[in-house]
């Protein structure tokens, strides 16, 4: 099930951590060197949402100045002013004419590192929404929608018994949810979902991951000390000689020949929650043998062929088109991107919030190895075996 929109609630005041939120909205508190919300978005862009809506209220101008209409990867961020604070339910009223189909909703001050595709795999039938659930022992701070369990149809229901499950704060909703949202202060959890659960209109899916709410000093300080858990891990791949046979410059897709085990390897990396990124020197552009437009067409067809295998996905591609003797001036510049320099690594690490020490790179040249070491990423030469087997061996 394809979902084009995700909504992040960022309007709260964060009164429990007032020392920080007097000047900085809670989602923008820095964890490490980056605002929490930035790092949350870096987790979301791999899903290729068309729109990421930020529902703003408290210190809304900061969000508008920093994010509104900003394009990140394949997603556009749109800030929406909810007006006076209307709680988690009433805030959604402002989106009733903007969202045209199903959408994901999440809080901008909690971290719950689940695979959103798992939510979308649930058969929703006549239900209106799906809620991601976690075990109570995995909660750090959340007391909304407790004493619940799932029946044999995965429908959420309340129970008088002590429950092991609690709300994880991530939801899938049909557009039909807007029928229940009013232009007033309204709690999503305690009013809207409470009523829909009693009508058997909400399904649930349980995850083992821990939910962290940054709304208390204790949990915020804990996350600041363990900020690496917000980072992505990446598996970098060179292109020629790793993805395809290296028979010289590939100037059209008919010259592109996949090496064994490529699609299977990328699918495995997706399942292991790696961001899969290709880093490739493409001096053929600087030499005038191929244009950037033509290269992008080759990469589009390459990615399409890979995706046909169990929806395997290359998350990003960085290329260095530079050649120091190029007749085109712009291709004589930015040589820092060209391996063995680490410009492409730096761009990828910043864009995707990657932890280099938890990442890997497979290449086939000494320039790949040098760049990898400079970027503090573990390097492996491509072996004369299938890429799937090599990746599987590395991850053992």
Domain boundaries, the chain: 5-230, 233-394
Give tens-digit pLDDT for 312-330. Answer: 999 999 999 999 999 999 9
Residues 6+ apart with CB under 8 A from 65: none
Find the mean pLDDT for residues 207-215.
Answer: 90
pLDDT above 50: residue 142: no
CATH architecture label of 5-230? Alpha-Beta Complex (3.90)
Q: Is 5-230's fold the same as 233-394's?
A: no
Instruction: Give the residue numbers annotated as catalytic, written as ranges.
Output: 238, 240
pLDDT over 50 (residue 376): yes
Instruction: Specify which of 16-20, 52-56, 160-164 reaches the highest per-range mean pLDDT.
Output: 52-56
Contacts of 191 (CB under 8 A, 6+ apart): 89
pLDDT at 137 over 90: no
Confidence of residue 14 (pLDDT cuts 50, 70, 90): confident
Q: What pLDDT, on the 0 to 100 scale, is given for residue 13?
A: 84
Q: What is the mean pLDDT of residues 67-83?
A: 96
CATH architecture of 233-394: 3-Layer(aba) Sandwich (3.40)
**Residue 72 tokens, joined:** 């990140």
| pLDDT score of 138 | 59
Encoding tokens for residue 21? 């939120």
Model-level pTM?
Answer: 0.94
Question: Which two three-digit tokens encode residue 189?
Answer: 């959890």
Average pLDDT value over all residues in the chain: 94
The pLDDT score that the predictor gives to residue 141 is 47
Model confidence at 40: pLDDT above 60:
yes
33 CB burial (10 A radius; 0-12, 13-18, 19+):
exposed
């Amino acid at each position: 099930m394809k979902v084009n929109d995700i909504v992040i609630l960022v309007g709260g005041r964060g009164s429990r951590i007032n020392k920080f939120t007097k000047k900085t909205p809670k989602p923008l508190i820095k964890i490490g060197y980056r605002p929490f919300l930035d790092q949350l978005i870096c987790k979301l862009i791999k899903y290729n949402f068309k729109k990421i809506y930020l529902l703003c209220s408290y210190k809304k101008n900061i969000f508008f100045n920093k994010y509104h209409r900003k394009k990140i990867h394949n997603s556009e961020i749109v800030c929406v002013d909810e007006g006076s604070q209307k709680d988690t339910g009433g805030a959604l009223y402002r989106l009733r004419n903007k969202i045209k189909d199903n959408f994901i909703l999440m809080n901008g001050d909690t971290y719950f590192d689940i695979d959103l595709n798992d939510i979308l795999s649930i058969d929703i039938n006549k239900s209106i929404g799906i809620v991601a659930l976690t075990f109570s022992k995995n909660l750090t701070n959340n007391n909304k929608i407790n004493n619940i369990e799932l029946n044999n149809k995965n429908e959420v229901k309340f129970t008088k018994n002590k429950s092991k499950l609690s709300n994880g704060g991530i939801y899938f909703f049909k557009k039909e949810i807007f029928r229940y949202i009013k232009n007033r202060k309204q709690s999503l959890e305690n009013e809207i979902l409470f009523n829909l659960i009693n009508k058997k209109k909400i399904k649930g899916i349980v995850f083992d991951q821990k939910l962290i709410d940054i709304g208390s000093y204790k949990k915020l300080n804990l996350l600041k000390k363990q900020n690496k858990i917000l980072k992505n891990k990446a598996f970098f791949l060179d292109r020629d000689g790793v993805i395809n046979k290296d028979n010289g410059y590939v100037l059209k897709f008919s010259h592109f020949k996949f090496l064994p085990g490529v699609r299977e390897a990328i699918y495995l990396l997706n399942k292991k929650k790696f961001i899969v990124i290709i880093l490739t020197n493409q001096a053929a552009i600087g030499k005038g043998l191929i244009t950037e437009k033509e290269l992008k067409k080759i990469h589009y067809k390459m990615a399409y062929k890979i995706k046909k295998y169990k929806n395997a996905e290359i998350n990003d591609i960085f290329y260095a088109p530079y050649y120091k003797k190029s007749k085109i001036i712009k291709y004589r510049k930015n040589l820092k991107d060209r391996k063995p320099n680490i410009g492409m690594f730096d761009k990828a690490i910043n864009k995707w919030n990657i932890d280099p020490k938890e990442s890997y790179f497979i290449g086939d040249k000494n320039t790949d190895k040098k760049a990898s070491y400079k970027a503090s990423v573990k390097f492996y030469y491509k072996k004369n075996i299938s890429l799937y087997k090599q990746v599987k061996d590395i991850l053992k």
